Amino acid sequence: MHPFRKAVEAGDHAALESLLAEDVVFTSPVAFKPYPGKAITSAILRAVSTVFEDFTYVREIANPDGRDHAFFFTATVGGRTIQGCDVLHFDADGRIDDFLVMVRPLSAARALSEAMAPHFEQIARDATGG
């Protein structure tokens, strides 16, 4: 099993954070601008793990060179079933430097946005060490 998937499924935030490059860019399915940096990406991932229920990876696709992966998942958020994909790129050191999340349907993306909104003050504090 891929170390990323193993960390997510185990809820091992330390292992997940260790896989992130310092200059990782996180692109959210519900925010206009990407979030640059390990601190904010880690904080977002911790928060989203509290919002998703019944999270399960259902498929994984990898580029033969091992630097690009797509992890397809299902979950429930706000009573809505969500389908999504984590699209990851790994740098030369094996760290995630690009983390793109896509979700569907629109009603579930809205539910995700609403569920995450109360967490953004804490995310900002965690990302700045405050």
Handedness of CA 15, 43, 128, 91 (dihedral sign): positive
Give residue-wise pLDDT tens across range 71-130.
999 999 989 999 999 999 999 999 999 999 999 999 999 999 999 988 878 888 877 876
pLDDT exceeds cutoff 70 at 54: yes
Say if residue 118 is preceded by a cis peptide, omega within 30 of 0. no
- pLDDT band for position 31 (50/70/90)? confident
Transcribe 8-41 into DSSP letters.
HHHT-HHHHHHTEEEEEEEE-SS-SS-EESHHHH
What pLDDT does 9 receive? 93
Site of tokens 């995310």: 123
What pLDDT does 130 receive? 66
Name the average pLDDT for the chain. 93
